[in-house]
Structure 1
């Protein structure tokens, strides 16, 4: 890998126009831009439709006493094209509204989607969900919880949510991760991060 990475920065992009394509629950904008090329020249005008979804958080609650995760299940219509079932096993997540902190959203969504409280909220990482088509950045958190309080069906009726809560043994979650039963990005990334950093994470929780 080159020592100079990334090769360019935002100063090497010129946005010439942004115009709305769709305004609804979400927004779609058409961007027109030119950019520096690896051969040292500038590109021609590039047009891309970009999904303006906003930014989100996702949190993986874990109970070190029972060695269980609290995961949720809900329908995702976008999964129907490639999945045997559009009901997915996910982690708790939600959009960041104007004026909210990432941490506030984690606590709010955990109550709305699973009826649980969080402790030792810990930022793991953030990632761009699909930067070729959307501006969305997702922030992943870990948190300690009491899994024995996780049960039932939750969600906001105003958002047509129908969310079932699951207590999932750590060993089962790892199996689901490995066999592809869990295949949505936020859950895969969060679980992989947890298994990579479990020892340090639990030591951090114990010390605080």
Structure 2
């Protein structure tokens, strides 16, 4: 059975809420013939990218207010890679480039696919395509900060790689950011970074 656990079959789906994303209630038939109900969050697929400048030893990260974190009573924001939803009719690579300009004011040339990941397969349909992308100081064409109409109010942080490594993985509370930091560390180690002086 393609795309689902063997023997499980969706019989019906009801839309409970529709806004930026949709909350669905799915009724499934199990292999033993019983019925179960599961909630599904569906907002489409997304991308994340970590721009890095190996020559200067920097990365671009963002920080913005996240209502779910406030709701939990945790910190208001965390360091994150640039990310966003893939708009209808857009390819993942187009979304990466658009988000980089909107959020960080950086125009990306080469983008390197790290992989495709389901961020929360128990509940969400989102498949996240993650990328690394080299950039230089000349590629920073504006301040970024997100779209004013969306009230994104994004803080752009150009962080030194040494400071990022010193933070340790425990300080990176965002999963997509942790994955891309590990991927970057592996990539730079394979290239013998930092270069000998």
TM interval, shorter chain, is 0.7 to 0.9
User: What's the CA shift string for 1:63-101, capped at 9, x where partnerless?
Assistant: 011011011111111112152x21221100110111111
Question: Could you tell me which residue of structure 2 aligns to residue 146 of structure 1?
Answer: 136
Out of 45, 48, 57, the position equivalent to 1:55 is: 45
Determine if the alignment matches structure 1 residue 93 to structure 2 residue 93: no
Matched pairs, number: 188
Question: Could you tell me which residue of structure 2 aligns to residue 172 of structure 1?
Answer: 163
Alignment TM-score, normalising by the size of structure 2: 0.87
| 1:73/1:150 CA distance change after superposition, 3 Å | farther
Out of 34, 46, 57, the position equivalent to 1:44 is: 34
Question: Could you tell me which residue of structure 2 aligns to residue 107 of structure 1?
Answer: 97
Q: Which residues in structure 2 correspond to 1:4-23 (within 5 Å)?
A: 12-23=7-18
| 1:88/1:43 CA distance change after superposition, 3 Å | farther
Gaps of 5+ in 1: 1-7, 37-41, 204-208
Q: Which residues in structure 2 correspond to 1:165-204 (within 5 Å)?
A: 165-178=156-169, 180-200=170-190
Q: Which residues in structure 2 correspond to 1:54-73 (within 5 Å)?
A: 54-73=44-63
Q: RMSD of the TM alignment (CA)?
A: 2.1
Give, in whole Å, the separation in 1 of the partners of 2:33 and 2:162. 50
User: What's the CA shift string for 1:142-164, capped at 9, x where partnerless?
Assistant: 00011473874511011111011
Gaps of 5+ in 2: 193-197
Alignment TM-score, normalising by the size of structure 1: 0.82
